[in-house]
Amino acid sequence: MARNYTKKTEEKKAPALIAYHVPDREKAPWTRIGAAWDHKDGEGFTLQLDLVPVTTGRIVLRAFDPQAEEGESA
C-alpha cells in the first residue's frame, strides 16, 4: 500500500542578501552569483550559490532590492 506523505509548503520569500563576485581589478563588473536567506531563529543565513567564481576576487553580500531586480530583468 502506498503511503501519502504531505510536505509542508512554505511561502517563497525574497532573499535577505544577494551574493556578487567582484574581481580584483578596477571598475570590474559585479556578477550576481547567488542569494542568502535568513534563518527563522535570526542566528544565521543559508547561502545558495548558482555558480562559484574561479578567478580571484571577493564575494560581496548586499541587501536585496526588489526594485533593482525589476530593472535588471527589463
Name the residue with higher pLDDT: 12 or 37.
37
Is the pLDDT at 60 greater than 90? The verdict is yes
Q: What pLDDT is stored for residue 12 in this prediction?
A: 79
pLDDT over 90 for what percent of the chain?
Answer: 65
Phi, psi of 51 (to 5 degrees): -155, 160
Is the pLDDT at 57 greater than 60? The verdict is yes
Residue 8 lies in a domain: no
Domain, as residue range, for 51 = 29-65
Give the single-character DSSP code of 31. E
As a whole number, the mean pLDDT across the chain is 86
Query: What is the total count of domains within the chain?
Result: 1
Is the pLDDT at 71 greater than 80? The verdict is no
Residue 39 lies in a domain: yes
Name the residue with higher pLDDT: 24 or 12.
24
Cα 63 to Cα 41: distance, rounded to the nearest angstrom: 19
